[in-house]
Structure 1
Amino acid sequence: MTQTPAPLPTPVVDAAVGWLVHLWSGEATEESRAQWQRWRAADPLHEQAWRRIEATNARWRAHAPGLAETLARSPKAAGRRRALGGMAALAVTGMAVWAGNEQVATHGWLAGVRTAKGEQRRLLLSDGTQLMLNTATALDIDYSPTLRRLRLYTGELLITTAPDTHLPKRPLVVDTPAGRAKALGTRFTVRHDAEGSAAPGTQVEVFEGAVELRSASGLALRIDAGQAARLPTGGTATAMAPPAEPAWAEGVLVASDMRLDAFLDELRRYRSGLIQLAPEVAGLRLSGVFPLGDTDHILQALGQVLPVRVQVPVRYWVRIGPAG
């Protein structure tokens, strides 16, 4: 039996993708190639990530021969950059399949409803329930005569339930790899971060009504309006700080005395490619309201509100370090 490779940390995966994009860009120099080799040698996980991405690249070449050669032959820089954009999207997609839990990722790519990174979408279900999908969300909608079931593989949902007119009445549940959230007449969010992320598991925040959050082992926690809880994959649900209204549903990212590294962790959910942060500035704090529709503007603003320098060597690679 073939053993599934262990998931790698998301920052390592992002770094590997960033290096791949840079090397494909046609803008790599001897110095940047030396930096890439130093990155590979700095940590065994870095080398493991790079070997996996090389294997992924080989599979793409088998399925789409000539793709990389087309990029190399692009006669103009602008044309090359456009081709790079498509290649980078393929890179991020391919890496995501093996970066997290393989079963969840596979189901996610086959999900009936998906949003791309940075995309948000509203849905009205047949019973009147309203969904808003956040960035990089994958789910299946499975309504039967006995159950209204949403299967969330990854991403985030804002759910406003409607009374079920079906007889007998059917409960509405959201199943994730960590457990099940059962709506008790409510408005709430469910977010699932897959294995390989900084904090894998399911988070539920309730704004109206109540939700019952049940782990795979059967232990349940009731969450009332104004409360939140987190359920780690394979763990037990625990209460969290009271939630604020989901700012992402209004198209903004809100920071309130937030560490820069935590802020960028959130921003990475909405932006493809690699964002590198120097350790010296990770603890800087910021507050503000940032429009998610323009992540380039958010990055530019960081250099105006914090003593940092933001560099973009290539389109999908951002480096943030101390100013000056």
Structure 2
Amino acid sequence: MRTALVIGTGLIGTSAALALAARGVTVYLADHDPEQARTAAALGAGTDTEPEGPVDLVIVAAPPAYVATALADAMRRGLGRGYLDVASVKGGPRRELEALGLEASLLSKYIGTHPMSGREKSGPLAATGDLFEGRPWVLTPTRETDTEVLNLALELVSHCRAVPVVMDADAHDRAVALVSHMPHLVSSMVAARLEHAEEAAVRLCGQGIRDVTRIAASDPRMWIDILSANPGPVADLLSEVATDLDETVRALRALQSSDEAKRREGTDGVENVLRRGNAGQVRVPGKHGTAPQVYEIVAVLIDDQPGQLARIFADAGKAGVNIEDVRIEHATGQQAGLVQLTVEPTAATVLTAALRERGWAIRQ
């Protein structure tokens, strides 16, 4: 791949363009908003001029509702050797493209893809060239997909340092409904409870509520586009969640009863949903997509001052301990916080002793 045209210079399109430009690919940028394309060009993602002839790969990074139209226009104009989109749903755009009456020879030059990466922010200014590194990038070829186009898509994934995953388009849509679209709506529903909550209650927010509501900060307009393209599978999953909610509400009401038998039923009902949650959570892939592992947390109290984290990491390195993950819980009303270092169980005792020896305050 020597040349590429990115149509749509939002977060995903500009991030892909930045990655390609950094690998020496000549990238052309186009957007319905010329100012947005100029912004992406100014960031080093490519040039907002038109290519003189067909490029190797046309990348459509438009919202799902506009993908088919943008692809069909690009194909009829002969803008590239191969075409792909990066929308978060795959079955609908493919069927819409087929319904537009394109010749089979043109359809064979298209492959639907979806990089499983993003941010709460949108637009070219939120883009980074490393957005996709280590992340799954789904490819949905069909029997008609030209081998050259599949290879171009794989080259794009390689340039972005992502991990290719081949799936059926409709299976992909059901999967993202489960792991992305439905959780986003549930996160938004939880966050909505905070909108009119008393200030005294909101001030008690800890890491748990921050974890649950983080993705609720995303642009609603973008998510309306996404959900409108995949409403059926998301609605099916939310219906199942609603059933669980109804049963859990009944179980909690039973816990208020003065009848011992009803309280036991309530306890069983709440415990059931919590245990099912345990069983589902352990299936979430672990580090680098491997099987989940059991880790231990070493909690360290730190002041909110420059260099504190660097010191902890350096001291952990001197102790020969690899930190698998790190989280920070900030203290309310104080310039301090709790750093939670995730390590292998065999390393927890070693790290705790080493950090205490170097003057760190460990919290059990």
Alignment TM class, shorter chain as reference: under 0.3
Structure-1-length-normalised TM-score: 0.27
Structure-2-length-normalised TM-score: 0.25
More strand by share: 1
